[in-house]
Structure 1
Amino acid sequence: MNVIHTDHGPALLDWSFPGPGAIGEDAANLALDTFFDGLIDLTHLDEVLTTVTTAYADGMAGALDPALVTHAIKTTGAAKYFWLAPVMLMRAETPAPAKPPTTPATSKPPSPAAPPSWP
């Protein structure tokens, strides 16, 4: 991503997927991945979602109704992350597998065989 400075403050430019895409998908990804990656405390979730949604709707002003933009952000976010809650619940119910016992440093596995010589 690139950050540029505008008259209204910093703006992020994401060049990883240029071209047409689902309306709201990039905004949903930006807002939700920030929290799923553990970069921001969850207490800021409502503020970030509101800020991202408002800014995205402002950017789409004149092209789409703000209510449609908000619906698109929510829909694409739900579509992308529908699998997350069940996975988290399954992991919470399933005990972590036991770690294999560690071996002393003196009992290292043998080195792999050297590759055959080239003719």
Structure 2
Amino acid sequence: MMELVTVKDGSCTVYVEKNLIKQVVIHPQIQQVPGAPDHICGIMLYERTPVVFCRLGDSGGCTCGFILGLRDGTMIGVIGEPGAEDSGEPEKMMEVMPGIWEKKCDTIE
């Protein structure tokens, strides 16, 4: 069972592995990158290291940033509103990015 933190960005809800969260930043000072793809919100310095922040939803806002320390030693940021702590079984979740999960949806055919 994974310990997760719910992050909501507009209509999108994702679940971040709690043990990977290095820092939660309120109103992060993220600098936009000209020409970056739509899912890239921008970059921010954290402990003198540039961190790329990704937009996983459609809110267009940036009130809270989650900096994740990934298993390979790199860092990535995601934006969104913090939610409740949760737990999830990996077989019921789908990893959309390292350390970031969505719940699988059952489809009826």
TM-score in terms of structure 1 length: 0.20
Structure number with greater Rg is: 1
Larger RCO: 1 or 2 (CA < 8 Å, sep 6+): 2
Higher fraction of helix: 1
